[in-house]
A and B are shown apart, each in its own frame.
Chain A
Amino acid sequence: MTQTVLKFENVSTAYGKVQALEDVSLEVNEGEIVTLIGANGAGKTTLLMSLCGDPQPQKGKVFYDGEEITGKPTSEIMRNGIAIVPEGRRIFSRMTVEENLNMGGFFTSKEDYDEALKYVFRLFPRLEERFDQRGGTMSGGEQQMVAIARALMSKPNLLLLDEPSLGLAPIVIQQIFEVIEQLRAQGMTIFLVEQNANQALKLADRGYVLENGKIVMHDSGDNLLVNEDVRKAYLGG
């Protein structure tokens, strides 16, 4: 039995009076790619944010590596083996690639940092070429690479990706997904939140479908891909 890395137990989150998540339970096991798909406003990003502690869940518990992390401050949660690639990339556009990566490895030791730097350069040779370039002057795909590389700089066990394909050309999306596959091959646990259900489900071991703040379906990636309801709702036929 593989170990559970991330676990949501009956989590509910609200923004004021608006209920964004209702009684959500899910599990991510070690070494898996688990994807969460859903339409706009289904609560996908909220789910990730609840995990990060902003906003705090109203009810329910979140466990990471068997330890409860609900109620901890965001900065503490994000320093212990979890890294997130936020929606819309959010790289530091006035800083160079190097400095962006530097911020990602803010809490790591010098040796770990150098090692992580080599690792992300192997993953994204493009970034080594663009080492001194300002983040804001790069293309969307390159910025997404910087965002992923920045998250990897802290050597996480669990990588959260929030819509990595957002606003990118199909060929670039392909590249990004290849990188995600490589990461999995190296044993990283990945929780992927996507609107691009087709791509995400092909890649994922398991998938959850979120609708109006509730998990409505849960199955293996392949099964979801051929599921009639999923096809109708998210795969366009």
Chain B
Amino acid sequence: MMRNPFVAALIPAVVFVLLALPILGIDLLNESLMLKIQAAPAADWMMIIIAAVAIFFIQLFRKPIDAGVTTFKEAVPSLNLKSYLVQPKVMRLLTIFLILALFLWPFLYESRSGLDISIKVLIYIMLGLGLNVVVGLAGLLDLGYVGFYAVGAYTYGLLNYYFGFSFWMALPIAGGMAALAGFLLGFPVLRLRGDYLAIVTLGFGEIIRILLNNLTSITGGPNGITGIDRPTLFGLEFNRKLRDGGWDTFHGFFGIEYDPIYRMIFIYLLALILVLLCIYVINRLQRMPIGRAWEALREDEIACRSLGMSRTMIKLSAFTIGATTAGFAGSFFAAYQGTISPESFVFIESAIILAIVVLGGMGSQVGVILAAIVLTVLPEVAREFSQFRMLMFGGLMVLMMIWRPQGFMPMTRPHIQLNSDKIQKETAQ
């Protein structure tokens, strides 16, 4: 429908003003017990007006601007940067360089807050990778993923609190417990699909959280568990003073000054190794027959069954592997925080992890990593605009749906070549 360009430009500007006025143009003041509504300072109003005018003019001259962008793009000589970057050799070099950089940067640039965010990002990457197997590859919508994360965290927390298990002893147990939980949940929900599966898994996540909240005698209820031991390096502790019965402290052993940053760096490196391990293992699985079976199941369940594949096994394996990853992430989270409480495992966490998978591009590991970084770093960076954080979050989602509905990096499926002779023959022609 062709409209008058002036009207077409006016509408977005007016809509913007209508939306912006109540959000930005009005301040709420707490005056004793009353809430007072007040007009925002004139500067804010000026900004709104400027923005509205800008929107109007951009919309009005959209055609020439678009044309300009296109000619600009064409004018810039194509550097073929992309085709150069995706060469396997270059890719491998870049990856190695990137991993080295990730390992080395904390030693060159000691930043507590930087490490803090990095560890958080790494935990979310781990969770995203695990959920990616369930949702992205096998196509089973799981809204209670945080439940497995909680199982992992509490397994370590409780084992440490009651039996003094160290992080390293508890890590495999936590993975195993989460896997067991995934397996047990998998059985009853196998027949379900889509929305129904989502609801049941949502319930499962809530059951875990409510259970942890109410088993006060064991889990400490809402107060959670505190004083969980931090991970050690072959028994070396990263505390200022040695605990009773401990072997030695890190700084004591190496004869250096105590600095709390060592622990942060150690935990960061640990997280990095865990994430790299997850990436490697899941990547392998994806290329193995089981990985293809997951995808086939997502594509067509009936066809899968007609080929003699057992949907029970395929779904259970996806669920279990996803849960195991969350279990590892959970026990790591407990070790990093030192305290855990049911509050860390609320539904919004599941939603964020799911957002990471969807935003990254279902099934794509690189996409999941990128999305985990964006969704974790963005709220930190946007801390200054704390009031508008959710607004920015929502805006990002809307923009994504418009420009990249498939996610940052839609999955390119690993290509399996069995008949290499034939391919060579073809390329030779």
Contacts and interface: CB of A to CB of B under 8 A. Distances in A.
Given A86-B303, A92-B303, A93-B299, A131 B422 contact: yes
Given A106-B289, A117-B419, A128-B422, A90 B308 contact: no
B386 interface: no
Given A92-B299, A99-B416, A78 B422 contact: no
B303 A90 contact: yes
A92 B300 contact: yes
Nearest to A79: B308
Contacts of B302: 86, 90
A117 to B, nearest CB: 7
B300 A75 contact: no
A75 B309 contact: yes
Given A78-B307, A103-B296, A106-B309, 4 more contacts: A75-B308, A75-B310, A95-B295, A154-B308
Chain B CB count within 10 A is highest, among A54, A73, A99, for: A99
A139 to B, nearest CB: 19
A30 B290 CA distance: 34
Contacts of B307: 78, 83, 103-104, 106, 150-151, 154
A77 B302 CA distance: 14
Interface residues of B, number: 24
Interface of A: 52, 54, 73-79, 83-84, 86, 90-95, 98-99, 102-104, 106-107, 114, 117, 128, 131, 150-151, 154
Contacts of A74: 305, 308
B110 to A, nearest CB: 47
A227 B416 CA distance: 52
B137 to A, nearest CB: 12
Nearest to A113: B418
B292 interface: yes
B293 interface: yes
Chain A CB count within 10 A is highest, among B303, B306, B309, B313, for: B306
A84 B306 contact: yes
A54 B308 contact: no
B306 A95 contact: no
Interface in B366-415: 413
A73 B310 contact: yes
Report the 7 A-B pairs with minimum CB-CB distance, sorted nearest first. A78-B308, A75-B310, A79-B308, A90-B303, A92-B299, A84-B306, A86-B306
A103 B292 contact: yes
Contact of A90 (B300, B312, B416, B419): B300
B296 A75 contact: no
Nearest to A89: B303
A88 to B, nearest CB: 9
Contacts of A76: 308
Contacts of A98: 416, 418-419
Nearest to A104: B307
Given A98-B418, A99-B292, A99-B416, A75 B305 contact: yes
A93 B296 CA distance: 10
Interface in B300-348: 300, 302-313
B127 to A, nearest CB: 26
B204 to A, nearest CB: 26
Given A98-B416, A99-B292, A91 B305 contact: no
